[in-house]
Amino acid sequence: MGKTKDIREAVEAELDFDPLVGTADITVRNINGDVALNGTVPSYPQYLEAGAAAQRIDGVKNVHNHLEVVLAPSDYRDDAVLTTAANDALTLNVTVPDGIEASARDGNLTLTGTVKYGAQRTAAELAVAALTGVRNVRDHIEIGCDADPADVDVLVHDALDRWALIPDDSDVKVDTRGNTVTLTGHVRTWAEHDAVVDAAWMARGVNDVNDVLTVAC
pLDDT 10s digits, 7-56: 999 999 999 999 999 878 999 999 988 999 999 999 999 999 999 999 99
pLDDT of residue 167: 60
Q: What's the pLDDT band for 141 if we cut at 50, 70, 90?
A: very high
pTM: 0.73
Judged against a pLDDT cut of 70, whether residue 66 lies above it is answered with yes
Q: What's the pLDDT band for 1 if we cut at 50, 70, 90?
A: very low
pLDDT in tens, 110-135: 999 999 888 898 999 999 999 999 99
Cα–Cα separations (whole angstroms), residue 39 to 102, 114, 153, 155: 27, 34, 39, 38
Please report which residue ranges of the chain form alpha helices under DSSP H.
2-17, 44-55, 79-92, 118-129, 149-163, 190-202
Output the domain CATH number for residue 190: 3.30.300.130
Say how many domains are in the chain: 3
Q: Examine the fold and report which residue of 52, 69, 86 is the final residue of a domain before the chain moves on.
A: 69
177 and 136 together in one domain: no
pLDDT of residue 166: 56
> Do the Cβ atoms of 188 and 164 come closer than 8 Å?
yes
Q: Examine the fold and report which residue of 143, 160, 176 is the final residue of a domain before the chain moves on.
A: 143
Q: What are phi and psi of 204, to 5 degrees?
A: -65, 135
162 and 122 together in one domain: no
DSSP 8-state assignment for residue 163: H
CA distance 134 to 115: 23
CA distance 163 to 137: 30
Looking at the chain, the number of H-run helices and the number of E-run strands are 6, 12
Residue-number span of the structural domain to which 181 is assigned: 149-215
Output the domain CATH number for residue 88: 3.30.1340.30
Nearest CA among 146, 206, 213, 208 for reference residue 173: 213
pLDDT of residue 201: 84
CA distance from start to end of the chain: 17
Q: Examine the fold and report which residue of 23, 51, 69 is the final residue of a domain before the chain moves on.
A: 69
